[in-house]
Amino acid sequence: MEINELIVEKIKNFSPNAIEETSDFRSDFSLVIKKDELLKVAEFLKADPDLLFVQCKDVTAIDWAKRKNRFTTVYHIYSFKLNKILRLKVNLGEEPQVDSVVSVWQSANWYERETWDMYGIKFLNHPDLRRMYMPEQFEYHPLRKDFPVMGIPGSIPLPSGPQKD
């Protein structure tokens, strides 16, 4: 597809080593970006007059459990100009942390908070990295594969029921 080639070429001109891998599955185009280059590429994709990916639709992560790079963060960004959803992926190494993209897309604020809550991935330079859903003192990250579906007994105190005499 032409748009896909245009995007890849533009990024390669901007930063030759940023793209690790491209894939096109069921006409969903996705790019694997180098961890250190993410913020620069994000800024470029938003600002470039031919691309204008101005809206960040979603940020999430995948826990691969047994792979060497356990976590992958996934970003879905949208360009009104090209009418195109682009997926960016970043493979995280030993430490689950990556640069925050809130400075580029403000909407990423809550999405990254949710991802931190659910996967325990630290977003560096995030303005307000609190938990989104779980209580602040909760010590686990529920969407990690090592967290059981039934939950961990005693991890959240239950409300005390009606008193029996």
Partner 1 sequence: MIDVHNDEKLLKALFEQDTDITIEDALENEMVINMGPQHPATHGVLRLLLRLDGETVMSIVPELGYLHRGYEKMAESMSFNEYIPHTDRLDYTATMCNNVAYVLAVEKLAGIEVPTRATYIRMIIAEISRIMGHLVAIGTFAMDVGAVTMVLWSFREREIIQNIFDRLAGARFTTSYTRVGGVASDMDDVAIEMTHGMLKDIEDALFEYEKLLNSNRIFVDRLEGVGILTKEKAIDLGITGPNLRGSGVQYDVRRAKPYMFYDKMDFEVPVYNEGDCLARYFVRVDEVKESIKIIRQCLNQMPKGEIIINSPKKVLSHKAEIYTKMEELIHDFMLINFGIHPPEGDVFFSVENPKGELGFYIVSNGTGHPWKMKIRSPSFCNLQAIETICKGQMISDIVAIVGSLDPVMGEADK
Which residues make up the interface to partner 1 (CB under 8 A)?
25-26, 28, 30, 54-58, 60, 62-63, 74, 76, 80, 83, 85, 87, 105-107, 109-111, 114, 118, 128, 130-139, 142-143, 147, 149, 154-157
Question: Quick one: 16 or 153, whose CB is closer to partner 1?
Answer: 153
* Separation between Cα atoms, residue 101 and residue 77, nearest integer Å: 11
Q: Taking the complex as a whole, how short is the minimal distance between the CB of residue 63 and partner 1, in angstroms?
A: 7
- Residues sharing a CB contact under 8 Å with residue 140, sequence separation 6 or more, in sequence order: 147, 152, 155
User: CA of 5: how far to CAs of 11, 25, 64, 87, 140, in Å?
Assistant: 10, 15, 29, 14, 41
Bridge pairing between strands 71-79 and 84-91 = antiparallel
Q: Taking the complex as a whole, how short is the minimal distance between the CB of residue 155 and partner 1, in angstroms?
A: 8
Ramachandran assignment for 59, one of left (phi > 0), alpha (psi -120 to 50 degrees), beta (any other): beta
Q: Taking the complex as a whole, how short is the minimal distance between the CB of residue 10 and partner 1, in angstroms?
A: 21
Question: Quick one: 36 or 127, whose CB is closer to partner 1?
Answer: 127
**Cβ contact 82:3 at 8 Å:** yes
Q: Taking the complex as a whole, how short is the minimal distance between the CB of residue 165 and partner 1, in angstroms?
A: 25
Question: Quick one: 139 or 165, whose CB is closer to partner 1?
Answer: 139
Question: Quick one: 16 or 49, whose CB is closer to partner 1?
Answer: 49
